[in-house]
Amino acid sequence: MLLDVRWALGDPHGHDHYLQGHLPGAVFVDLATELADPAVPERGRHPLPSPLRFQDAARRWGINNGDVVVAYDDSGNMAAARVWWMLRNAGLAEVHLLDGGLAAWRAAGLPLEQGEVLPPAGNVTLADGQMPVLDAAAVTAWTENQQVRDGAAPDRLLLDARAAERYRGEIEPIDPRAGHIPGAVSAPTSENMDSSGRFLPPAGLRRRFEALGISDDVEVGVYCGSGVTAAHQVAALELAGFRAALYPGSFSEWSSNPLLPVVTGSGPRGDGPAEWKDQAGQG
């Protein structure tokens, strides 16, 4: 099965782009309505749908038990990684990303198809809980215990997969507060890829994450704005040989709760003690 997950923040026309040209036989997946529940502050902008609702969507796409699924988009798999993670979390064994996405397909001179693909309903049976996840309470516990003891490196590390300027709090185009979760390390998802939108080689990815403090002995958690591009980071970490937990609610959930701290600046704990106050004045 081929799944086309054409979506990008600020571009609501993914389906139109799909109709104009997609991989032959690819089925369109609507990220906003099929890979997420409606946004609510306490769950973020793209809450995960219930397992049953997700199974219904997967069957609409025509997926059967035992199928091999390949997902792609036109943005370096930043969106397609969401369905990759969700299907893996649901227990599907063979789920892959087309490295480089639609751009790589075009660059290879391969044909595109126009119009809608409507496959027969599938019979896939999906589960839940096959990938590690974090909620806000777990993230709080991680960051509170993320201390260096006796000069040793921390045994847990939280990565912020958003653009560095959003991490620092210089801009925030969509979420309630600017900045990042205290203790998180900036690790923009864009740095997982080369200029063509393909993943860096596994050895290069491993060097990137090791430079951020990750090793085989460190537990890793990842968040972004709404849990979408963080899935791309989980995939990159897997290519590098590291298993990571996803915080699905991500910063859109965290920053909506005035009781949870947000810091600004380039360091994990902010630029100084004053940065521990969030923008609503809460300590």
Closest CA relative to residue 232, chosen from 125, 51, 75: 75
Confirm if 29 and 36 have CB atoms less than 8 A apart.
no
- Integer Rg of the chain from CA: 19
3-state secondary structure the chain: CEEECCCECCECCHHHHHHHCECCCCEECCHHHHCCCCCECCCECCCCCCHHHHHHHHHHCCCCCCCCEEEECCCCCCCHHHHHHHHHHCCCCCEEECCCHHHHHHHCCCCCECCCCCCCCCCCCCCCCCCCECCHHHHHHHHHCCCCCCCCCCCEEEEECCCHHHHHCCCCCCCCCCCECCCCEECCHHHHECCCCCECCHHHHHHHHHHCCCCCCCEEEEECCCCCHHHHHHHHHHHCCCCEEECCCHHHHHCCCCCCCCECCCCCCCCCHHHHCCCCCCC
Given the DSSP bridges, would you call strands 2-4 and 27-28 parallel, antiparallel or unpaired? parallel
Q: What 3-state DSSP class applies to 27?
A: strand
224 carries an active-site annotation: yes
Catalytic one of 224, 245, 246, 263: 224
Could you give the residue numbers annotated as active site? Answer: 224
